[in-house]
Amino acid sequence: MSDFNDRVIAEFRAHHGKVGGNFEGAPLLLLHSVGAKSGQTRVSPMMYLPDGDRFLVFASKAGAPDNPDWYHNLKANPDATIEVGDDTLDVRAEELPRAERDEKYAQQAALYPGFADYEKKTDRVIPVLALTRR
């Protein structure tokens, strides 16, 4: 996964936030989070749903039974940085409450049906986090 992410990150930065392949045409950001255990900065490319002043991200991990590492990082260290296009923003992460999470996840799944597939593949409730400018 690291090689894949490294290629996506390089393409994102070289093309002002645009990438091809599976992410072509989708809103993409780069999340800089601090490792919950290591304390090291990690960069993770991910799709997001614009929501007013917020960027909503989905801890789907393609429907895996556990949450992605970046989710645990944000729970331990909610202050993070994102790259969106050519902009770098300081943000704070907050997990959405269940009712709002369900609404926003349904929105994302309607726009990008792969997210509906992820939800069907797992027994866990896939968390949705709001990233808001600090």
Q: Which domains does the chain have, with CATH numbers?
A: 2-133 (2.30.110.10)
Closest listed residue to residue 48, CA positions, set 62, 66, 31, 71: 31
**Strand (E) positions, 26-118?**
28-34, 41-47, 49-51, 54-58, 79-84, 87-95
- Of the candidates 129, 58, 52, the residue with the CA atom closest to the CA atom of residue 94: 129
- For residue 33, give every residue at least 6 positions away whose Cβ sits within 8 Å of its Cβ, in sequence order, or none: 41, 42, 44, 70, 73, 74, 77, 80
Confidence of residue 22 (pLDDT cuts 50, 70, 90): confident
Cα 2 to chain centroid, rounded = 16
- Inter-helix orientation angle 98-111/114-121, to 10°: 130
pLDDT tens digits, residue range 76-122? 999 999 999 999 999 999 999 999 999 999 999 999 999 999 999 99
* Per-residue pLDDT tens over the stretch 29-42: 999 999 999 999 99
Span 55-73, pLDDT tens digits: 999 999 999 999 999 999 9
